[in-house]
Amino acid sequence: MNTGKKFKVGIYLRLSREDDDYKEESASITNQRDYIMNYLRINDDFIFVDEYVDDGFSGGDFERPDFKRLMVDIEYKKIDCVIVKDQSRLGRNDLVPYYIRQYFPLKRVRFIAINSDIDTFDESKAGNKMVGFYSAMNAHYCIDTSEKVKSTIYTKKREGKHLGGIAPYGYKKDPNDKYKLIIDDESAKVVRTMFEMFAQGNSLQMIARHLDNENIPIPSIYKNLNRGNKSSMYGHWQTRTIDEILKNEMYIGNMCQCRRKRVAVNVKHLVRTPKENWIIVENTHEPIIDKETFDIVQNIYSKNSHMTKNTSNYLLKGFIYCKECGHTIGINTTHGKGYLVCNYYRKYSKYNACTSHHMKYDDLEKSVLKELKSFFKKCVSKKMVDNLKKNDKIEKKIRELEKELSRLEIEINDAQRKDNEAYTDKMNGIITLETYLNIRNTIIENKELNKKKIEENKLKIEELKNNGLNKDFEKIAEDYLSLKKPNRKILSNIIDRILLDENLNIEIYYKFRKPF
């Protein structure tokens, strides 16, 4: 079609890694470029101005750098004609018909998709009527491809491979294996601080203030990510960030993925998924937090789930339940003092559901602590010290290393026996001289390697013993047994729940977890 007008042409080239014919830039993009240039050479209406290339970008959306550059050049009237090899190169989503039928015509820009027989300035082209059909087919292809890619990704995630673009805070990607996480020592210290503070009874807001006061950068700044709305609060720790870290199993060595998903294939907005849909693979990387501390934190969370903002300073919040109806006992604050009330009664009192169980919180706390101290007086201090040592992380690590030392020494002593057996086999003609020499070399290499490990373990044991020199287990046991410093971490280890009946009688149900 010769219009007599010379069109300033921008050719648009795109190929996604999900496309069936994806190979490499030199083959696939060049193929599109040559095809369009041949078309230009046999038509006199066109003046080539520029090319726009998005290699490796999905057609599912328009978040592509050179497509955006194309839009800018259209606005500034640098070009007034866009040519693609076929409609799918422009995109594979529901917005493609909008650009072809509305945006380009409004801007007086001619659009041509050669193989699709589309030309918005030539009404005789059959493809002009097929734009919607092509778009639906391309969108279906995009969805089908997405499902195939998703299936491959899920398979890798079920194998425990980390497929996130960025490692979780506290970790970094292993430079030798992009699917593996290793501990980032600097940020891991911050994660340990969060867990320890929360376990000791500090609120999320208190932890956030502490991190801000210590000038510790938030995760997005620490990892140099361009995130956040850049409001006046940007750069300050938020309780939601800390909350997600404290609940994340990644920190006990479990790979936890698929916690969020896209609303739709072509929509980048993410929504949270139910926990039963997460993919969790245990023991895939080194933990930052031990399982005991993690469980304590989750236990405290469960105790806090029914509490209001006004009950944050109460030691026994979340532990107290109504004996009659089984619901939680809430703590209402009036004139600075706490009072207990059955939450079920409070909600349905007009239906005579349960009774108030009204009691001063301070009276209950005094009674509970008095019983706990009475119980602890019956505990044997020496046994308590022994149990603390047994459960101490440093002591545990020392025992593990010493056990490893014994195993390595046994292997070294056993090396000579293996060598003798192999030599006997060689003398009896069971194996050749070459095979014997290979076996002997392997035995010698393993022996030297074990000797090196022994020296390393001895140094580690010495270092750990030096770190534990100042740990006064007798003092720690005394504090526990006297309950001089009661906190929610200690209580979470000891108490399962406290029952309060309508006559205000108190029953304590213990866990009797270690070290008790």
Place of tokens 């199993």: 249
> Where would I find the beta strands (DSSP E) of 285-408?
320-322, 329-334, 337-342, 359-360
Residue 229 has pLDDT above 70, yes or no: no
- Whether 309 shows a pLDDT value over 50: the answer reads no
Q: Is the pLDDT of residue 11 over 90?
A: yes
* Contact assessment for residue 502 and residue 344, using Cβ atoms and an 8 Å cutoff: no
Which pLDDT score, from 0 to 100, does residue 387 have?
58
Share of the chain above pLDDT 70, in %: 78
Instruction: Name residue 112's beta-bridge partners.
Output: 83, 119
The string of pLDDT tens digits covering residues 478-488 is 555 566 667 77
pLDDT at position 307: 47
With cut-offs at 50, 70 and 90, classify the pLDDT of residue 35.
confident
Alpha helical stretches, state H, 305-360: 343-348
Work out the pLDDT band at 27, boundaries 50, 70, 90. Answer: very low
- Which of 57-61, 182-186, 197-201, 381-385 holds the top average pLDDT? 182-186
pLDDT score of 255 more than 50: yes
Distance between CA atoms of residues 111 and 123, nearest Å: 12
**Strand intervals (E) in 428-478:** none
CA gap 242, 247 in Å, rounded: 9
**pLDDT-derived band at 159, boundaries 50, 70, 90:** confident
Q: What is the pLDDT of residue 75?
A: 93
pLDDT at 22: 46
Q: Which residue matches tokens 């001289």? A: 433
In the predicted structure, residue 386 carries a pLDDT above the cut 90: no
Per-residue pLDDT of 390-438, as tens digits, reads: 555 666 777 888 888 888 888 888 888 888 888 888 888 888 888 888 8
206-208-209-214 Cα dihedral, nearest 10 degrees? 130
- Label residue 270 by pLDDT band (50, 70, 90): low
Are the beta carbons of 194 and 216 closer than 8 angstroms?
no
Residue-level pLDDT at 310: 47
pLDDT at 68: 94
Q: Is the pLDDT of residue 246 over 90?
A: yes
Among 62-71, 180-189, 279-288, 373-382, name the one with the lowest average pLDDT. 373-382
What share of the chain has pLDDT > 90, as a percent? 22
Tell me the residue type at 273: T
Q: Average the pLDDT over each of 15-19, 76-80, 165-169, 389-393 and give the range with the smallest value.
A: 389-393
Task: Indicate the pLDDT class of residue 72, thresholds 50, 70 and 90.
Answer: very high
Alpha helices (H) along 165-203: 185-199
Own/partner contacts of 258-267, CB < 8 Å, gap of 24 or more, are: 258/154, 258/157, 265/60, 265/142, 265/143, 265/146, 266/60, 266/61, 266/93, 266/94, 266/139, 266/142, 267/61
Q: Report how far residue 255's alpha carbon sits from residue 247's, in angstroms, rounded to the nearest whole number.
A: 13
Higher pLDDT: 380 or 271? It is: 271
What pLDDT is stored for residue 291 in this prediction?
86
Q: What is the pLDDT of residue 469?
A: 47
What is the pLDDT at residue 73? Answer: 95
At residue 514 the predicted structure's pLDDT band, cuts being 50, 70 and 90, is very low
Statement: residue 111 has pLDDT above 90: yes
- pLDDT (0 to 100) of residue 116: 87
Instruction: Please state, in angstroms and rounded to a whole number, the distance separating the CA atoms of residues 62 and 4.
Output: 33
One-letter amino acid for residue 442 of the chain: T
116-145 pLDDT per residue, tens: 888 988 888 888 888 877 666 655 555 555
Predicted TM-score of the model (pTM): 0.47
- pLDDT reading at 149 higher than 90: no
Residue 488 to residue 480: CA distance in whole angstroms: 13
What per-residue confidence (pLDDT) applies to 475? 56
Residue 302 has pLDDT above 80, yes or no: no
Q: In 3-state terms, what secondary structure has residue 56?
A: coil
> Per mean pLDDT, which of 56-60, 250-254, 331-335, 469-473 is the most reliable?
250-254
